[in-house]
């Protein structure tokens, strides 16, 4: 596990916290290769350039994503790469939804380096790590469960389109950002509406924001 081939990516927009995570990783994986990403675009660029990433440590809110959108995208696009959420938002509902969307663990930012080290080691050993005081036993909301199940059917590209819809971007703006035609974006939007069981892009954005609560940034859908 501590071989030079161990490769982690720390995705957080705060340099000081990335440094803290790097120290925590180095404490248990001294020879690991560690890449850093200050935005979701940086993270996807790293993942596109290499196929040997063993773990991603992901903040829930950073440039390019908010809430669970980044996690949903990573689990769809790179299902073999474990993702651990490292976030300041650490209520039980957020932790449980992170696990529901496929996270391999959840580490609150309020914890110190020693706890970070323990959590990272457990995940690298194949365990799922959450704070000991987390209550994961509360009954799930059936409507939320149904909506979550619909969200995870989206393809990686559809997740990216929904993320951009949530930022209020027009179809032509999304097409430009993704390097595809506007017709392709319209097709993606239609598929998103069908999979989420809604009738408009506004309803799709509301649905995405609903399951993430305050975690998913909601703009004003246009176009």
User: Which pLDDT belongs to residue 218?
Assistant: 43
User: Which pLDDT belongs to residue 123?
Assistant: 84
Question: Greater confidence, 68 or 187?
Answer: 187
Give the tens place of pLDDT for each residue, 19-60.
Answer: 888 888 888 788 889 999 999 889 999 999 987 899 999 998
Give the tens place of pLDDT for each residue, 169-186.
Answer: 999 999 998 999 999 999
Alpha-helical regions (H) of the chain: 15-28, 40-49, 69-77, 92-100, 113-124, 142-151, 156-166, 171-178, 182-196, 201-212
Question: Greater confidence, 209 or 82?
Answer: 82
For β-strands 33-37 and 7-11, DSSP reports them as parallel
State how far the Cα of 86 lies from the Cα of 105, in Å rounded to an integer: 9
State how far the Cα of 152 lies from the Cα of 159, in Å rounded to an integer: 9
Read off the pLDDT of each residue in 1-26 and give the average, rounded to a whole number.
Answer: 81
User: Which pLDDT belongs to residue 27?
Assistant: 80
User: Which pLDDT belongs to residue 222?
Assistant: 44
User: Which pLDDT belongs to residue 182?
Assistant: 94
Residue 66 pLDDT level (bands cut at 50, 70, 90): low
State how far the Cα of 100 lies from the Cα of 95, in Å rounded to an integer: 9
Instruction: Report which secondary-structure segment, H or E, holds 107.
Output: strand 105-108
Contact call for residues 84 and 104 (beta carbons, < 8 A): yes
User: Which pLDDT belongs to residue 213?
Assistant: 54
pLDDT > 90: percent of the chain: 31
User: Which pLDDT belongs to residue 217?
Assistant: 47
User: Which pLDDT belongs to residue 1?
Assistant: 47
User: Which pLDDT belongs to residue 138?
Assistant: 65
Question: Greater confidence, 113 or 82?
Answer: 82
Give the tens place of pLDDT for each residue, 87-102.
Answer: 888 888 888 888 888 8
């Amino acid at each position: 596990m501590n071989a030079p081939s161990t490769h982690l990516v720390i995705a957080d927009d705060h340099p000081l916290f990335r440094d803290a995570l790097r120290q925590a990783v180095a404490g248990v994986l001294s020879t690991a290769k560690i890449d850093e990403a200050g935005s979701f675009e940086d993270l996807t660029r790293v993942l596109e350039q290499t196929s040997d990433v063993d773990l991603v440590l992901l903040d829930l809110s950073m440039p390019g994503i908010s809430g669970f959108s980044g996690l949903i995208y990573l689990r769809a696009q790179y299902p073999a790469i474990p993702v651990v959420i490292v976030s300041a938002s650490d209520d039980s509902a957020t932790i449980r939804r992170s696990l529901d969307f496929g996270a391999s663990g959840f580490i609150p930012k309020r914890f110190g380096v020693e706890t970070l080290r323990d959590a990272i080691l457990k995940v690298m050993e194949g365990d799922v790590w959450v704070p000991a005081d987390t209550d994961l036993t509360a009954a799930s909301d059936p409507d939320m469960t149904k909506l979550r199940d619909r969200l995870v059917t989206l393809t990686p590209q559809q997740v990216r389109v929904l993320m951009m819809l949530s930022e209020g971007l027009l179809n032509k703006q999304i097409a430009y950002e993704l390097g595809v035609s506007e017709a392709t974006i319209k097709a993606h939007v239609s598929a998103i509406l069908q999979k989420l069981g809604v009738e408009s892009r506004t309803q799709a954005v509301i649905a995405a924001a609903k399951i993430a609560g305050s975690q998913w940034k909601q703009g004003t859908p246009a176009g």
